[in-house]
Amino acid sequence: MNAEIKNLEPKEVWKNFADLNAVPRASKKEERVIQFMVDFGQSLQLETFVDKVGNVLIKKPATPGMEHRKTIVMQSHLDMVHQKNNDTVFDFEMQGIDMFIDGDWVKANGTTLGADNGLGVATIMAILASKDIEHPAIEALFTIDEETGMTGAMGLEGGLLKGEILLNLDTEDDDEIGVGCAGGIDITATKSYTPQQAEKSASAYKISVKGLQGGHSGMDIHKGFGNANKLMNRILFALNQWIAISEIDGGGLRNAIPRESNALIVTTQAEVVEEKFYGIAKEILDEYQPIETGLEIELEECPVPQTCAPQTDQNILLNVIYTIHNGVFRMSPDIADLVETSNNVARVVVKDGTIKILCLTRSSVASGKQDLVNTITSGFELGGFHVELSGEYPGWKPNPNSPILKVLKNVYVDLFEEQPNVLACHAGLECGILGQNYPELDMISFGPTIKGAHSPDERASISSTQKYWRFVLEILKNIPVKD
């Protein structure tokens, strides 16, 4: 089916995307895709360089007549989020993404598609390989590990780039032009407990929460989607006095809204637990039915496990998770409909004497981010958890007087006869980090329409990619002349 993808228009983009998607490229495991990009650059006999952290830089001279234009940096990240449906058998370490066409959409079979940011990478590859596309001098920057820490952008040294304009191809609506983004920080809370023996005469059940939409924990955080970790905690809280928790395994990556959670519980009052379970499950299903039509909450009897958490530790765990804020914390007072500060309770693991909870806190305002971090950290520490903060990255402050913004707005209006939406987003883009070492870069972000990023429902619009490609080609023709 991937051969069919290569015949989509624009072929030069979709062919590169299909080739890229044949290469496993999980965050922090980008060795194969780095080599793929090096081989690509060298096959074109272009100057190709890998920096000390693994970012790939490929340089291409201006086409004839464009030498007097400013050098541009075209930038996308190589890694992709690896998420799959619970019933999908797929090895991200060994298999390429299995894609198919569904109307106007390119999708993947039960996994993330990798259009975020693979379509941006494929676009830059198409420009680098072209022989008839007008463009100024290009520095193509392919960063690593954007999805789980932005360590590629953080590790990029000052002085490597000579370009004056940065085109970041990592926005997910084709009518939007990004001029700012949120910063973020990872919160990791851990706590130990001494497991106790489960009563052999007790009954045991597996509780499953699944079928939620999930999505991007920045771009989709305001949509009211269910968080599987918070919903599971609500269920366990309702059953608390009649159960002992043996295990919890919920969520996945920090930047993905949790779609699934499983818990293993033990009880000596099976009838009461079943009655209470179906009562709270109905309440949740009724509440979320308008937006989470695929939500399933199931109870299945299973063998009794060997150990459980003590009641005291269980009480603390459930109270703490209930306390930790999830979702939008504050909307921006300056920009309409922009989430300013949020938190995603991304991962909850309880097993073998250890509790581990992962969060990702975002904000476009540094003081607002710190305020929410203090709020969350206080809740964890009151419960006796050890808290570590890591992976902090800055936001990108909008510049309404940006020269490249003016170029993109004019080109968009000329091509499509309507005004684009110029906005900041609540996702973390690499622009904020790159701007630290290259403060003079005039930065902008745009891209084709991609829905459901960071979830197995991820899909890329074919018609939007065609529109976006026209936009890219016209932008390249209109890069300002050098000062």
**Poorest-pLDDT segment among 369-373, 406-410, 431-435:** 431-435
Task: Look at residue 117 in the predicted model and tell me its pLDDT.
Answer: 96
Q: Which residues, at least 6 apart from 60, have a Cβ–Cβ distance to it below 8 Å? A: 44, 46, 127, 128, 135, 137, 138, 140
Instruction: Please spell the DSSP secondary structure of 147-189, one letter per residue.
Output: TTT-HHHHHPPTTS---SEEEE---S-TTEEEEEB-EEEEEEE
| Residue range 185-393, CATH number | 3.30.70.360
Question: pLDDT tens digits for 87-120?
Answer: 899 999 999 999 999 999 999 999 999 999 999 9
Cα 181 to Cα 184: distance, rounded to the nearest angstrom: 10
Question: pLDDT tens digits for 432-473?
Answer: 999 988 999 999 999 999 999 988 999 999 999 999 999 999
Instruction: Please spell the DSSP secondary structure of 243-269, one letter per residue.
Output: -EEEEEEEE--TTB----EEEEEEES-
Name residue 318's beta-bridge partners.
Answer: none
The answer to whether 225 and 257 have CB atoms below 8 angstroms apart is: yes
Per-residue tokens: 200: 């052999």
Question: pLDDT tens digits for 161-196?
Answer: 999 999 999 999 999 999 999 999 999 999 999 999
Q: Which residues, at least 6 apart from 479, have a Cβ–Cβ distance to it below 8 Å? A: 66, 69, 70, 72, 135, 136, 165, 407
Question: pLDDT tens digits for 122-166?
Answer: 999 999 999 999 999 999 999 999 998 889 999 999 999 999 999
**pLDDT band per the 50, 70, 90 thresholds, residue 399:** confident
**Distance in Å from the first CA to the final CA of the chain:** 48
Query: If you average pLDDT over every residue of the chain, what do you get?
Result: 96
Nearest to 473 by CA among 124, 7, 143, 75: 124
**pLDDT band per the 50, 70, 90 thresholds, residue 271:** very high
Beta-carbon count within 10 A of 49 CB: 13
Q: Which residues, at least 6 apart from 131, have a Cβ–Cβ distance to it below 8 Å? A: none
1 has pLDDT over 60: no
Helix (H, G, I), strand (E, B) or coil at 21: helix
Amino acid of residue 199: E
Q: Which residues, at least 6 apart from 6, have a Cβ–Cβ distance to it below 8 Å? A: 14, 15, 18
The domain segmentation of the chain, as residue ranges, is 2-181+395-477, 185-393
Q: For 2-181+395-477, which CATH class?
A: alpha beta
**pLDDT band per the 50, 70, 90 thresholds, residue 398:** confident
Helix (H, G, I), strand (E, B) or coil at 393: strand
The answer to whether 97 and 124 have CB atoms below 8 angstroms apart is: no
Residue 320 is inside which H or E element, if any? helix 311-323
Report the catalytic residues: 79, 146
Measured in residues, the chain has a length of 483
Nearest to 116 by CA among 449, 357, 391: 449
pTM: 0.78
